[in-house]
Amino acid sequence: MKTLNGKNAMHGTEVALSLLKSLDADSILALVGLGADIVMLVGQDHTVHRIHFADPDMGSYGLTKAVGKRLQDLVTVESVPKIDAMLTGQDSARQARGYQVNHSCDGKPDLPVLYSGFSVADSPYMLVVGRELRQQMKDQQRLVETQMELEADYRELQEAEARYRTAFRVSTIAHVMLDGERKTVLDANAAAMSLVGGGSTGIVGKPFRDLFRKQDRDALSDAIGEARHSASPVRLDTLKTVKGEPVSLSLRSYRENGITNLIISAWQSSDAQEARRQQVEKRNERPVDLTDVPEPAVQTNDQGQIVGANTLFLDLAQAPSIAQVVGRNLGTWFSKTSLDLHVFYSRLAEEQVVRGFATTLTDNLSGDRPVLVSARRNPETSLTQVIFVPQPVVTTERLSIPAPGAPEQADGFANLVGRVPLKDLVRESLEVIEKICIEAALDQTNNNRASAAEMLGLSRQSLYIKLRRHGLEDYRPSN
C-alpha cells in the first residue's frame, strides 16, 4: 500500500512538472499572481523582463513601463538598498520576512509593497513576488489618529478634573466626601479642615462621626443612613464638633463605582459666627500694624488663630480677601506639615523668638511653597507676629539633562541630585535618550518612517506617537 502511494505521489509530481514546462513565462506570472499583487521576473543584471500586477491602478506608479528597466529605478531613493539586498540574497532570514519598499507617483501617496525574491539554481531569472500594503497603511493611520483623539480626550478630562478640583479646594463652604459603606472621610477641602478640625493628621480616612461630640454621634449616624436612601438632601442642625463649635450639615447621596457615597456641606450656625466675630474684635483691641512689613506677615494668638495679616500674605496664601484669613488657624496652610508647625509653636513658647524655621506652606489652590518662618511673641498680649520669607522654587517640569556622551554629563547629573527627585531625573533622562535615538534613526534612513520604526524595533503607530510627543513630526535630517 505504501509503495502504491509513493508511486501515485511520484506520478503527481511528474504531471505538475510537465504542466509547468508547458507554460510560458507570462502564464507562470499570471498563475503566481493569483496569490500576489505583483509578480516579476528579474534578470541577473537586475532588469525586469516580465511583470504582472493585479490592480490596473498600480500602473500609474511606473509598473506598466517596468520591462527593460532596473528594479532599483522603479522605487524611491530610500528603498534602493533594500532592493539591492533582496536581489543579491545577502540575508536569507530577511528574504523570508520580505522587504518593504515604496513606489512613487506624482500626485499620489507612495505605494508601499512588501517584496520577496525566489531564485533557482542555474536559472537566469529571479522570481520577485510583492504584496501591496495600502490598506494596511490606511488602517495604521486610522489607528494612530484614533490614539491621538483618545489622548486629546484624556487631556480634556484631566483639565476638567483640575478645574473642579480647584473649585472644590477654594470654596469657602466646607465640603466633605464621605464613604457611604465605611462612613469614613474620602476627601475634604480647606474650609472643612478649618471648621471641623481633625488635629495634626487631618481628617481624611477618619470616621466622620468621631469629629463630633459623643452626644451628637447617634443623630449623625441616623442622618447618614437616611441620606443614603433619600432623593433629597437631609438637613441636620445643632451639632457640635469636638472643638465645641456648633455647625449645621446638609447631606446628599451620589453614586460612585457602584457604591452610594455622600457629599456633606457644613457651615457654622449663626450664633457661632457672631461669637467668632466678637472674639476676633476682642483680639484686635491691641492689633499691630503689619502694613509696613516688607514680607508676608500675620498676627496670631496662642492657639494659632489669625487676628491680622498684610496683603503680601494674602498673595502668598492665594486668599482673595482679609476676611478669608482672619479667624482661621495658621495650621490651615500647613496641613501637610502640621508637625513642623507644632514644633515651631513649642519653640516659640519657650524662647519667645524663633528665626529661620524652614517649612512648606500650602496655599488655597493646593500649591506648595518653601518658606522660612520667623516669629516674635509678645508675652503681655499673648499675640505673635509671624513673618514668612518665600524661598526659590526648584522646578522639575523640564530638566536640563546633558546629552549622553557630553563631557559635562556627569557634572550635570551631579548638580541635579538633591534638587530633583530620582524618579524625575531618571524619567527625563530616558526621554532625552529616546529623542536622540529617534533622530539618529531618521537620519540614517533619510527620514523614512517605516525603516526608522523597523530599525528601532517599534511599530509605525508607536513611532508616530513618539514623534508627536517629542515634537518631531516635521523633522528633516540635516545634510
One pLDDT digit (tens) per residue for the chain, 479 residues: 444 444 454 444 555 555 555 555 566 555 555 568 888 888 888 898 888 887 888 888 888 888 899 998 989 999 999 988 888 876 767 777 888 999 988 888 888 999 988 887 777 888 888 888 888 888 888 988 899 998 888 888 888 888 888 888 888 888 899 998 888 998 888 888 888 765 545 788 888 888 888 888 888 888 888 888 888 888 888 788 887 888 889 999 888 888 889 999 988 876 555 455 555 555 444 556 787 788 899 998 877 888 888 888 888 888 877 888 888 888 888 766 654 667 777 777 778 888 877 788 888 777 788 888 888 888 777 788 999 988 876 544 444 445 454 444 445 556 555 455 566 667 667 778 888 888 888 888 888 888 888 888 888 878 888 888 788 877 877 65
Query: Burial letters for 184-216: b for 16+ Cβ neighbours within 10 Å, e otherwise?
Result: bbbbbbbbbbbbbbbeeeebeeeebbebbeeeb
Residue 162: the pLDDT is 84
Residue 278: the pLDDT is 54
Which H/E stretch holds residue 101? strand 99-105
**SS3 assignment, position 81:** helix
**Partners of 185 in the β-ladder:** 178
Contacts of 137 (CB under 8 A, 6+ apart): 112
Whose cell is 524625575? That residue is: 424
Query: What is the number of H-type helices and E-type strands within the chain?
Result: 14, 15
Per-state percent for the chain, helix, strand, coil, to nearest 5: 45, 25, 30
Q: Give me the amino acid identity at 57.
A: D
Asked if residues 223 and 203 have their Cβ atoms less than 8 Å apart, the reply is no
- CA–CA dist 250, 254 (Å, integer): 13
- CA–CA dist 458, 182 (Å, integer): 47
Which H/E stretch holds residue 175? strand 174-178
Which of the 8 DSSP states describes residue 448?
-
Residue 464: the pLDDT is 82
User: Cell triple for residue 464?
Assistant: 508616530
- CA–CA dist 112, 104 (Å, integer): 9
Backbone angles phi, psi at 403, to 5 degrees: -65, 145
Residue 64: the pLDDT is 84
Which H/E stretch holds residue 171? none
Residue 4: the pLDDT is 45
In 229-337, where does DSSP find H-type helix?
A: 270-283, 311-317
